[in-house]
A and B are shown apart, each in its own frame.
Chain A
Amino acid sequence: DSGVTQTPKHLITATGQRVTLRCSPRSGDLSVYWYQQSLDQGLQFLIQYYNGEERAKGNILERFSAQQFPDLHSELNLSSLELGDSALYFCASSVGQGRPTNEKLFFGSGTQLSVL
């Protein structure tokens, strides 16, 4: 058990809808990262938050947004969903800012999103 909790485990929804994925980092970790994993693209970095502030942005679509709350949990919001958004979404956490990236990441078990 990595100590990172993601909910829900599975999410099935329709195109055009909006969903929220939730992540609780390991106790004491200040950074939260969101990754998307699909068969053809592999693990793609979306966004990082450190202690409530956005730290780095990757290939995150404008339809997607995230935030980190004062209790350090994070939410990833996906809107106007398309079939291509179907993927496994992982949250990871690390102790510090991850700069430089000499910190290991602890991943949650992921949320499997299916857009029908």
Chain B
Amino acid sequence: SQKIEQNSEALNIQEGKTATLTCNYTNYSPAYLQWYRQDPGRGPVFLLLIRENEKEKRKERLKVTFDTTLKQSLFHITASQPADSATYLCALDKRGYSTLTFGKGTMLLVSP
């Protein structure tokens, strides 16, 4: 069956360090992968999109990698800040369909 797996345990890091979140998937062949941020009680907010033929994408302190062989995406936040504390969701398309399927997300806690 198709699965998108994100670490269910919260990731606790210190301010200034790099946070790395993982998204693994099975039985998908996504053409695109997206990352969203969700704060408690709020809707997800789009962060980055990466295509299957792109290895890496950057936006300010954010970096996403996409390895279609390993079926994995890594999401990095460098120089993390307490304001980065949130739940981060990865989302994949189902090739040929118009819908995004989301992982359950990983909570990131950045302590001062």
Contact = CB atoms under 8 A, between A and B. Distances in A.
Given A102-B32, A104-B49, A45 B44 contact: no
Given A42-B104, A43-B89, A101 B99 contact: yes
A48 B43 contact: no
A101 B43 contact: no
B46 A104 contact: yes
> Interface SS of chain B: helix, strand, loop or mixed?
loop
Contacts of A92: 43
Contact of B105 (A33, A42, A90): A42
Given A42-B104, A43-B89, A104-B49, A98 B43 contact: no
Contacts of B89: 43
Q: Which of B89, B97, B99 has the most CB of A within 10 A?
A: B99
Nearest to B51: A102
Interface in B16-63: 31-32, 34, 41-46, 49, 51
Interface string B77-112: 000000000000100010111111111110000000
Contacts of B46: 104-106
A88 B43 CA distance: 9
B102 to A, nearest CB: 4
Interface-centre pick from A101, A102, A104 (highest chain B CB count, 10 A): A101
A43 B87 CA distance: 12
Contacts of B105: 42-43
A4 interface: yes
Contacts of A110: 41-43
Given A45-B101, A48-B99, A4 B43 contact: yes
19 contacts: A4-B43, A33-B99, A42-B103, A45-B99, A45-B102, A55-B98, A56-B97, A56-B98, A88-B41, A90-B43, A92-B43, A99-B98, A101-B99, A105-B46, A105-B100, A107-B43, A107-B45, A109-B41, A112-B41
Interface of B: 31-32, 34, 41-46, 49, 51, 89, 93, 95-105
